[in-house]
Amino acid sequence: MKPFPHRYDVRLDGGPAGYADVSADGLPSIRMEAPTTYDGPGDAWSPEHLLLASVEACFLLTFRAVARLSKVEFLSLEIATEGVVDRQDGIVRFTEIVLRPRLVLPAETGRERAQAALEKAKKACLVTASLTSTVRLEPEIAAEAPDLSPAIR
């Protein structure tokens, strides 16, 4: 890892109406617009979706590092995330974000260690640590199904 502080530059190009493009050097552009809840077209990424995607991506990358350091092997991690936007203290904001990771483990990996790694990743994720919203973790941990097919001889 490079020494701190880290700096990130992002650009947005948009006009008085319609789609805007978010870009950064060396990365593909992302088309964005308001979500349908704010009368947008619903066919482009919105700031709300991008925030939740950032939470998910940060959680995954942090979990990978935690799992590697904790020697927790896993086969896959899928994350479904729900963000609740509401008015709180006169301000419209995300009031809660619920991460629902589904972690699939090899049959020999202990669930307790995997659960601890998930919790540690939630606490260590820089994006969730930067938010004032409540971030809740509702994980599902599954073991790989054993191969019951007869061996081919």
User: What residue segments make up the domains of the chain, in order of their start?
Assistant: 1-45, 46-143
Return the pLDDT at 16: 96
pLDDT: which is higher, 150 or 16: 16
Return the pLDDT at 148: 57
Return the pLDDT at 126: 96
CATH architecture of the domain covering 46-143: 2-Layer Sandwich (3.30)
- Cβ pair 100, 138 in contact under 8 A: yes
Return the pLDDT at 149: 56
- Angle (nearest 5°) at CA 127 between 124 and 128: 65
Return the pLDDT at 153: 45
Give per-residue pLDDT as tens, 70-128. Answer: 999 999 999 999 999 999 999 999 999 999 999 999 988 889 999 999 999 999 999 99
Return the pLDDT at 109: 86
Q: Give the residue-averaged pLDDT of 5-27.
A: 97
- Does residue 6 carry a pLDDT above 90? yes
Q: pLDDT band at residue 144, thresholds of 50, 70 and 90?
A: confident
- Round to whole Å and give the CA distance between 63 and 124: 9
Contacts of residue 111, Cβ cutoff 8 Å, sequence gap at least 6? 105, 141, 143
- Round to whole Å and give the CA distance between 34 and 49: 10
Return the pLDDT at 152: 53
Give per-residue pLDDT as tens, 24-77. Answer: 999 999 999 999 999 999 999 999 999 999 999 999 999 999 999 999 999 999
Q: pLDDT band at residue 150, thresholds of 50, 70 and 90?
A: low
Please give the sequence-ordered ranges of beta strands (E in DSSP) within the chain, or none if there are none: 11-13, 20-23, 30-32, 76-88, 91-105, 134-137, 140-143
Contacts of residue 17, Cβ cutoff 8 Å, sequence gap at least 6? none
